[in-house]
Amino acid sequence: MGGKKAVAVDVRIIAATNKNLEEMVERGVFREDLYYRLNVIPLFIPPLSARKGDIPLYVEYFVNKYSALLKKDAPEVGRALLQCLCGYHWPGNVRQLENVVEYMVNMSQNAVIELEDLPENLVMRRGSELREAVVSLEDRLADFEKTILKGMLAPGMTTQEKNRAAQELGISVATLYRKLERHGLSK
């Protein structure tokens, strides 16, 4: 409905850019008067690549967010994957990281998200950079152990077959079940 009476409003405008507006004003490609209207309280937020310590926090937040949204149990994030994500330079900043985590939560069927759950387009485009992320010996051994377990155990194996596999590996059945649980292979 329209009206004839003036209504006072209090408006705040927040504008964001990754461009250097001062430089653009000097070159004449951005209006100087608009720059001075917008430049009241400038905030400079460094890119995600300069805030590597924030990445684990974002990953945890996004895993929980998308698990709740999809009504799934929140998967754990493997150490090797987390190190890889922290080693990547994230040209798309937080939005790119969020999209990657959302993809992995959507696509992973395991209790632990691992390196192999990364989106293919990210691996293909930035594969060497992702693989160069520092991975500890412990993480490499854990990945190797998971590969061995996947190779020895087929879905739907009987308890007797699992007992035999544990014997072949030289570990107790209880240890086998703990390892399966740790690697998200217990289902």
For 67-98, how does the pLDDT look when each residue is reduced to its tens digit (9 = 90+)? Answer: 999 999 999 999 888 988 888 888 888 999 99
Q: What is the mean pLDDT of residues 12-25?
A: 87
Nearest CA-CA partner of 38 in 55, 53, 57, 17:
17
pTM value > 0.85: no
- 112, 105 in Cβ contact below 8 A? no
CATH fold, domain 46-135, is Helicase, Ruva Protein; domain 3 (1.10.8)
Q: Would you say residue 63 has pLDDT above 80?
A: yes
- 186, 180 in Cβ contact below 8 A? yes
pLDDT of residue 1: 64
pLDDT of residue 187: 65
113: three-class secondary structure by DSSP: strand
pLDDT of residue 139: 66
What is the distance between the alpha carbons of residues 64 and 144, in angstroms, rounded to a whole number? 27
Per-residue tokens: 126: 């930035």
Question: CATH 1.10.8.60 residue ranges in the chain?
Answer: 46-135
